Structure 1
């Protein structure tokens, strides 16, 4: 499997491209602010053709260029319905600070085709199978995308639910700290230690490394329901 990742925009959100190999169809995950040109460069270098865009959540630093990428390649974007409203309003997920940053009435073009995804759904895209796990907390529609690597092992595109040594903030509109803890306890901690985590910001990590050293996970039970 070919996995490419590069940070984009002022907030350095990670955009990922996954394919079975060079010259194959691919999936683009979280094409955020200023992603178009570096994405084009990666697609040219590896002779890849996008088949879909996946969005881990609706914040502008992860979806800013989704409409442009989808239009350029004629592909749909996949997002949880709880975060769909943010695709055309970059300030919606940021509260008053967002209105100051973007101004009133500022919009950007949404993908022409948006497909809503649900917890437990499996997406067959570009010869790969992506399992959707709904993890509300950072936003109401945050999701994880799990995919099996052909060489063995499992990758987890965690968005802003889980970082190396940290978790996503929960103080923005749609955020909920209690739901975040529940998501971490019931959806993240039960995963195998060797699952490789590709987060929305910062370096790659593993579930085992975060279980052992992430201070936000310490003391949380790994269970089917938060007690």
Structure 2
């Protein structure tokens, strides 16, 4: 299995490309701001052809290049319906301070074909199976994408729900700290320690490493424990 990851845009959001191998169809995850050029370089280098775009949530630093990528390769974008509105209005979830910081002139557009995803969906794309887990908190429509490797391992693309040593912020419009803690407790903590986490920002980690050292997870009750 081929997994490529590279940061894009001023906020250095991670864009990922997953495929069964070189010269194969691939899936692009979170092509955010300024992702088109570096993404196309990786596609050419590894002879990959996009089959779909997956979006972990709707924030501009994760979706701003989605419409362009989808149009260039004639593929659909997959996003949870609660975050779909951000595709056409990237500033919608920034709040007044965020709009002032990043500029009211930021424009976006919805890809020609958008497929809405939900908890429990299994997306069969490019010879890979992606399981959708809805994890509201950072945004209302945040999701995890879980995928198995041919070697028997497990990857989870966590977007801005979980980082190495941290979690996503919940103080932007649509964020909800209580829902975030619930998502972490019921959707993240039950994952196997060996699961490799590919986060929306920062370095790769594992569930076991975060369970042991992430202060936000250590404060949560163990799965199945009474609240």
* Segments of 4+ moved more than 2 angstroms: 101-107, 222-227
Equivalent residues in 2 for 1:71-150, closer than 5 Å: 71-104=71-104, 106-150=106-150
**RMSD over aligned Cα atoms:** 1.3
Please give the TM-score of this superposition, normalised by the length of structure 1.
Answer: 0.97
- Runs of at least 5 residues in structure 1 that lack an aligned partner in the other structure: none
Task: Tell me if structure 1 keeps the 8 A contact 2:89–2:109.
Answer: no
Please give the TM-score of this superposition, normalised by the length of structure 2.
Answer: 0.97
Q: Report what 2:168 is aligned to.
A: 168
Q: 1:197: how far off?
A: 0.1
Task: Tell me if structure 2 keeps the 8 A contact 1:182–1:226.
Answer: no
Q: Report what 2:26 is aligned to.
A: 26
- Runs of at least 5 residues in structure 2 that lack an aligned partner in the other structure: none
Q: How many residues align?
A: 227
Deviations 1:28-76 (A, max 9, x none): 0000000000000000000000000000000000001000000000000
Q: 1:107: how far off?
A: 2.7
Q: 1:100: how far off?
A: 1.7
**Relative to structure 2, which stretch is displaced further, 189-198 or 108-117?**
108-117
- Looking at structure 1, the residues matched to 152 and 179 of structure 2 have their Cα atoms a distance apart, in angstroms, of 32
Q: Report what 2:11 is aligned to.
A: 11
- Looking at structure 2, the residues matched to 66 and 134 of structure 1 have their Cα atoms a distance apart, in angstroms, of 20
SS in 2 for 1:21: coil
Q: Given the alignment of the two structures, is residue 182 of structure 1 paired with residue 182 of structure 2, yes or no? A: yes
